[in-house]
Structure 1
């Protein structure tokens, strides 16, 4: 069990994460780039009318809203109220009603075996204590119910973004694990253990044609993406370090463009059933 080795202040950690994800403009990033991922996860989970669904770390509802459009009853939970507020607006625009709930993935405010489907689209992977989040995900799923996850891989563009930023970010709390580990099949299988069966995984890519060069990729994430904004804030008093990170992120973007006009962002799609 990969639990925190020492006592941590869950409230303080949650507060920092709320601030991070409320910074920049994550809803715009979702709308412009990652919006295709939600429907992919909903289809993989086989969600339909009559299902009671929980989306963990739902953000603005990238997967939760498509799930609701199938006729399912959906609870969209997230730590960040600003994202939930925007998601509620988007749902209203699309004519669907969801239950939007502020919740920490480490301690979900739901009963045991409450949902037919529990899913997360590039969401629960950012809960720092992976085993706690995985245990909660399984707990609220009915026996025989479906689990569906979509997570960036360590080797893909966003996994490499986090690896590039690592030397520049504040030290994580004791026991925290890197988000892209959720994109490794062996890691997720170990988290769930015998709590799930019928595990199916597939590595896929999201085609992104949004950036002309690595510098454009860097500037977009520096202004839009909470974790990147947090990295720059951590080193803002050191111009040399800022310049280093600037150069490293531009190189990363150029590497994934490889002289072309599109990037391929790799993710792991996983479905399973609760035992």
Structure 2
């Protein structure tokens, strides 16, 4: 029993750190200013229709949930971080759509088996630390024959490479957890879902990012607003040399990915995957 309690306590502490990390900075600004259209891309790929019952897992501020509701679906948006849900409520009100917002752990969803026609996640579930547990829950709450939809950053793309660049500076992940960008590999997702999905389509695409004028402006924006980057800097705050090194590495990353010498115009790669849950 003591081992079970210890594991549960460890998981609660891990999830508390995740909640705190995503509350750092200003992720609502990142979602609305940098990647505002990714959620709608996923909703369209999932062919969400009026009357569909849709769950957006790790919804953040609702980049996918709000377009799904606008399409006429009955939507539940869940996330681990209350601050993001509150920002999502404000955003949905501004967009004039109604949906349900629920605080929930992607690895232990408070929903019934087969409750939803479509279960999707836009650069969200990939950050759940235990990939198999999250995938199992995604499948469990989707009805047989329902749609699974995922939009995740790839390991080889810009955001995947940013996490690689930050890894030496960030606090080490707990044992048993897996890196988020693995969700950007079709073979990883197929291994997680196994024979529980069929009719899989997987496309690598890019989103054009023209928000930043210099590599340094990208770095400073993410340093101030993106929770994982803010957390990495906090982990080394007492070591000025390492702060300087991370400053350099993030600006150098943006410079390598810039393809327009007049601006810092970058193409960030993601994987768009849809599938059907098997009927069996």
Give TM-score scaled by structure 1 length: 0.96
Partner SS for 1:148:
strand
Partner of 1:194: 195
Partner SS for 2:167:
helix
| 1:274 to partner: Cα distance | 0.4
Partner of 2:276: 273
Partner of 2:25: 24
Q: Is the 8 A contact 1:213 1:257 kept in 2?
A: no
Partner of 2:84: 83
Partner of 1:54: 55
1:188-228: CA deviation from partner (whole Å, max 9, x where unpaired): 11111011111100000000001122111111100000000
1-structure distance, mates of 2:154, 2:117:
26
Partner SS for 1:209:
strand
Q: Is the 8 A contact 1:56 1:105 kept in 2?
A: yes
> 4+ residue stretches of structure 1 with deviation over 6 A?
none
2-structure distance, mates of 1:233, 1:29:
19
Query: Is residue 151 from structure 1 mapped to residue 152 from structure 2 by the alignment?
Result: yes
2-structure distance, mates of 1:144, 1:259:
44
1-structure distance, mates of 2:56, 2:164:
27
2-structure distance, mates of 1:82, 1:160:
27
Unaligned runs of 5+ in 2: 1-5
Query: Is residue 251 from structure 1 mapped to residue 246 from structure 2 by the alignment?
Result: no
1:210-257: CA deviation from partner (whole Å, max 9, x where unpaired): 112211111110000000000001111111111110100010011111
Unaligned runs of 5+ in 1: 1-5
Partner SS for 2:187:
helix
Q: 2:267 aligns with which of 259, 264, 269?
A: 264
1:161-184: CA deviation from partner (whole Å, max 9, x where unpaired): 000000011111111111000001
1:36-72: CA deviation from partner (whole Å, max 9, x where unpaired): 1010000000001110000000000000000000110
Q: Is the 8 A contact 1:24 1:224 kept in 2?
A: yes
What is the aligned length?
A: 270
2-structure distance, mates of 1:7, 1:250:
39
2-structure distance, mates of 1:229, 1:258:
26
1-structure distance, mates of 2:260, 2:34:
20
Q: Is the 8 A contact 1:168 1:231 kept in 2?
A: yes
Q: Is the 8 A contact 1:37 1:62 kept in 2?
A: yes
Partner SS for 2:111:
coil
2-structure distance, mates of 1:236, 1:273:
46
Alignment of 1:229-248 (within 5 A): 229-248=230-249
1-structure distance, mates of 2:140, 2:124:
18
Partner of 1:101: 102
| 1:259 to partner: Cα distance | 4.7
